Amino acid sequence: MSGPARLWQTGPTQHSRRADMRISRLAMATLAVTLLGAPLAGAEDRLDGELALLLDWLVGSFDNTRQVEHGENFLREGPVDAERAPDLLFPVFAQVEAPALGGQAVYLQWPMGSPEGQLQRQRIWVFEIDASRNAVMMDFFTLRDPERWRDAHLAPDTALREITRDDLIPYPPACRLPFRRHADVFIGEIPAEACRIVSQETRTEMLINARVIVGANQVWYDESGVRPDGSVVFQVPASGSYQFRRRE
């Protein structure tokens, strides 16, 4: 055979070598993307499970009767004092259908004194996973017309189906609470110094702090608003944290 023929038989041409190199680079890039994406996909699967568990623990009817009767306030700075116990509340948390809000929506209302009492708080919380932050993120909203949506938990599949973001007062993205599991509880807390707002009612500038602890049968909650000079605009409860237990 001629020289060129022998070269063709014994080794690749320059063109084929370039093609092989391109295929090799493509294979390596594909493998790298797969390997880099695997931890993220694994994190999303885990967070999906944690979101489902968080909602399972959160949804239901609660009260803080024991806290009020015994003066319990484990997060308060100071000794137990029944005279300084928080208000008696009967919170309800219901997972609801609210397609326009995205994520997993929870409607909450907190009657005072009895399950039929005046509402101390009425909000919507929306949860979604964020694998980049390794957390279940929660947005919270105030209702522009609270009475219109009162008792939405009684019809969770329909009561909020038509609600839109125009019906809500949102908070800045920096106010979102990242929830992460700590042993047997989920803890969600606004990052320190992150949530700065101006009240639409009073035009007061303030820093919002909030912490929510969710266990299998308990929800603990505290929130405050503080002016730039350090003076307190509001604080619920007055000190420590609400300690809600699931009602039987």
**pLDDT at residue 126 greater than cutoff 80:** yes
- The band of 176, judged by pLDDT with boundaries at 50, 70 and 90, is very high
> What CATH number does residue 186 fall under?
2.40.128.590
Q: Which residue has the tokens 């909000």?
A: 123
DSSP letter (8 states) at residue 76: S
Question: Are residues 57 and 33 part of one domain?
Answer: no
Same domain, 34 and 128: no
Q: Tens digits of per-residue pLDDT, 214-248?
A: 999 999 999 999 999 999 999 999 878 999 999 97
Shared-domain flag, residues 32 and 154? no
Q: How far apart are CA 209 and CA 62, in angstroms?
A: 23
pLDDT at 5: 36
Mean pLDDT of the chain, nearest integer: 86
In this structure, are 7 and 56 located in the same domain?
Answer: no
Question: Of 201 and 95, which is predicted with more confidence?
Answer: 95
Q: Is the predicted pLDDT of residue 206 greater than 70, yes or no? A: yes
Phi and psi (nearest 5°) for 133? -110, 0
- Residue partners of 101: CB distance under 8 A and separation at least 6: 124, 126, 141, 163, 165, 168
Domain count, the chain: 2
Say yes or no: 114 and 24 in one domain: no
Indicate if 33 and 123 belong to the same structural domain. no
Based on the domain organization, do 80 and 35 belong to the same domain? Answer: no
**Residue carrying the six token digits 């038509």:** 162
Asked if residue 155 and residue 36 are part of one domain, the reply reads no
| Same-domain pairing of 16 and 56 | no
Peptide bond into 191 cis (omega under 30): no
Q: Are residues 22 and 81 in the same domain?
A: no
Q: For tokens 């619920």, what's the residue?
A: 236
Q: What is the mean pLDDT of residues 181-197?
A: 97
Domain limits at 204? 50-246
- 116 and 96 in one domain? yes
Cα distances from 145 to residues 24, 122, 176, 186, 245, in angstroms, run: 61, 10, 22, 31, 29
Q: What pTM value is reported for the model?
A: 0.80
25 and 77 housed in the same domain: no
